[in-house]
Amino acid sequence: MTFDYDLFVIGAGSGGLAASKRAASFGAKVAIAEYDLVGGTCVIRGCVPKKLMVYGSHFPALFSDAAGYGWKVSNTEFDWEHFITSIDNEVRRLSQVHISLLAKAGVELISGRATLLDPHTVEVDGRKITADKILIAVGGRPVKPDLSGMEYGITSNEIFHLKQQPKHIAILGAGYIGTEFACVMRGLGSEVTQITRGDNILNGFDEDIPKEIEEGMTNHGIRLIKNNVVKAVEPVAEGFKLTLSGEDQEPIIADVFLVATGRAPNLDGLGLEKAGVNIVSNSVERPGYYTTGAIAVNEYSQTSQPNIFAVGDVTDRINLTPVAIGEGRAFADSEFGNNRRAFNYQNVPTAIFSTPEASTVGLTEAEAREKIGDAVKIYRARFRSMYHSLTGKQEKTMMKLVVDSNTDKVLGAHMVGEHAAEIIQGVAIAVNMGATKKDFDTTVAIHPSVAEEFVTMR
């Protein structure tokens, strides 16, 4: 059978872009469909604009720190409209860069929403297109809990386009997104209240990470309300009145309400049932909070339909941009590059761009103890960096190594503090290569630096 394309990709985000360009480099005829700006969540409404907001939120602290070093900084003023407009302009510039890269790679970009009609046919704005192989890379979307008043809340999609800076922002959720935006908005000068239904922020991380971040957030003036959910939301003159579940908890009045309770694979309107693509069943966590279905795939990103594949957040494996890119390239190598391989999910590093920042790679202490029990040995350091010796601030840095005492192998590395992501990126190489604590110990330190603590802990 003759097809219009060797590969048709649905979704021009990180995974789809990586896969399409890699497949085209092997000589495949490739098209990619996108109904939004090219670049996906990361470029348009995720990593990139979020990190630019993080950078912007640090300047007030830097102005303050400068005084300790003899600088006189006065008459500072923040222009929210300029800030938001500049970020949007950069997002649109990067989207155009990705379009240019597709063209350079020989990938045809088709604007519009693609829907599966059968295992080899998609429809885009009334046009039927056939392909030998189809890759679904449509990513995820923010989801709101099924609780009263959630319709008044914005999500991470809308926060980048607020016309005015919130005076007081209430944030529901304490994962990556909720925690990062709490710190961003507080750094920019907004009053921040963060509400979480559990005992802790950032579930799933090594226990020392949320503990250190929470202390820093509290010291920076963020109000954390735990073990509460929003029972009702009422519009009032000042914005919104949030009634919480705690019997003794006073209502919260905020002019903006951010719902950051999670994301779900973007399956709506794909036509998966027409193509015979199976999804993983929904699982309810707690009343009002749920995880929607994801596309089921094997280790090679292949779905229940042999010629249809899926990568990235739509599969709900590890929802990180570099993982989606890695999955996309592994798919292209396997199907078009004569190099069948699966993406390696071990030792995937990640960062939380909160204030203080955190980053991690490998096993948490709890995971290591579950795996090897009492053989776990912990090395931990907590200190104030030299930078703050003149600022007078009590900002703390925490660094931690999880080691298997039987083999001396470093199983995990965790850090909270300035430049944590930059430091852990290098440490991740060592952890991924199977470095031992002795390897760390025999590495000469760069002095004076914060990073040297990883090779001087005893």
Q: Which residues are catalytic?
A: 447
Give dist(CA 173, CA 260) in Å, integer.
5
Partner residues linked to 397 by β-bridges: 383
Partner residues linked to 115 by β-bridges: 123
For residue 444, give both structure tokens: 């000469």
Sheet with 409-416, strands from edge to edge, namely 350-352, 358-362, 409-416, 397-404, 376-383
Q: Give residue 389's Cα distance to chain centre.
A: 32
Helix, strand, coil share of the chain (percent; to 5): 35, 25, 40
> Which single residue is written with the structure tokens 């053989």?
375
399: which residues sit within 8 A by CB, 6+ positions away?
A: 380, 381, 382, 413, 414, 415, 417, 453, 454, 457
Separation in Å, CA 138 to CA 32, 307, 317, 350: 11, 17, 14, 22
Q: What DSSP character marks residue 92? A: H
Element (DSSP H or E) covering residue 413: strand 409-416
Does residue 357 contact residue 420 with C-beta atoms inside 8 Å?
Answer: yes
Q: What DSSP character marks residue 188? A: T
Q: Which own/partner contact pairs does 75-83 have at CB distance under 8 Å and 24+ positions apart?
A: 78/165, 78/188, 78/189, 80/162, 80/164, 80/165, 80/188, 81/163, 83/53, 83/56
- The torsion angles phi and psi of 132, rounded to 5 degrees, stand at -65, -45
Element (DSSP H or E) covering residue 103: helix 80-105
